[in-house]
Amino acid sequence: MYRREDIRISPSILAADFLNLGAELKSVDNADFIHYDVMDGDFVPNISFGPGILRTVKRGTDLPVDVHMMVSNPDEVFRDYLDAGADVLTFHMETAKHAHRMVDEIHKRRRRAAVAINPGTSVASLDAIIDYLDMVLVMSVNPGFSGQKFIEHTYAQLNKLAALCQSHSVRPMIEIDGGISAANAEQVVAAGANVLVGGSAVFDAPDHAQAVEDMRDAGRRGLLRRA
């Protein structure tokens, strides 16, 4: 069980060694989610994996899988990821034709629904959907690759999101994705994040489980800094 507010760590297997995917998944079984990055080569300049590999990943972990769809046509493909076992399903606000309809259908399937925004997308674009979300994903790099540098403007995005949530009296999980490590986890949590994605910070570390714990410890220090 989680405390009312705790830090959750979501290792991104985009940075894992695909030749040893089963062992890589087991190496982070102390995390809270597995982050699964879907890239279509259109919305983002990279191609990763789709629903087929998601089924394989689901067989390799007991953790809930947090699916981040970076695709141009989420309204057309999101059901494929529900069918394949996504536990949390995230689509990008920039791509959604009917955001509320997708969220509704995700909930009818008893999964959690989330919306992501790119670094250049206004937090205000979430105003009409925020009441219905289990989680908001704030991108802290331009999506497409792991190992990129954290964009400092993200703190302004997190501050605006905290204000939006407060004005709506809602408390969705706030996931931060891109360039996160134990070095900045405290600061992003202090600014409102509570689900931390770690790609290279986890899978490039010599001890993956330790990297997860280090991120969580740093994040918990950030919780203490909140007013």
Report, in Å, the least distance between residue 207 CB and Zn ion.
22
Residue nearest to Zn ion according to CB distances in the complex:
68
What whole-number distance in Å separates Cα of residue 127 and Cα of residue 169?
12
Judged by CB under 6 A, the stretch of 51-59, 100-108, 174-182, 185-193 that binds ligand DX5 is 174-182
Query: Binding partner of residue 15 among ligand DX5, Zn ion, none, CB under 5 to 8 Å per kind?
Result: ligand DX5
* Cα 185 from Cα 170, distance rounded (Å): 23
Task: Looking at residues 35 to 54 of the shown chain, list those that interact with Zn ion (rule: CB under 5 A).
Answer: 37
Which one-letter amino acid corresponds to residue 21?
Answer: L
- State the number of CA atoms in the 13 A half-sphere of 30 facing the CB: 13
In degrees to the nearest 10, what's the CA dihedral of 53, 56, 61, 65? 40
Instruction: Please give the torsion angle defined by the CA atoms of residues 77, 147, 24 and 91, in that order, rounded to the nearest 10 degrees.
Output: -20
3-state secondary structure 45-85: CCECCCHHHHHHHHHCCCCCEEEEEECCCHHHHHHHHHHCC
Q: Which of 32, 66, 177, 214 is catalytic?
A: 177
> Is 17 annotated in the active site?
no
Residue whose CB is less far from ligand DX5, 108 or 206: 206
Considering the rule CB under 6 A, would residue 144 count as an interface residue with ligand DX5?
yes
Site string for ligand DX5, 18-37 (x = CB under 6 A): -----------------x-x
Active site residue 62: no
The two tokens of residue 224 are 């203490």
8 A C-beta contact, residue 138 and residue 113: no
By a kind-dependent CB cut-off of 5 to 8 A, residue 219 interacts, out of ligand DX5, Zn ion, none, with: none
Q: Is 198 helix (H, G, I), strand (E, B) or coil?
A: strand
- When CB distances are held under 5 to 8 angstroms depending on the partner's kind, the choice from Zn ion, ligand DX5, none that residue 10 binds is none
Binding mask 171-210 for Zn ion (x = CB under 5 A): ------x---------------------------------
Residues forming the active site: 37, 177
The residues binding ligand DX5 (CB under 6 A) are 12, 14-15, 35, 37, 68, 141, 143-144, 146-148, 177-180, 197-201
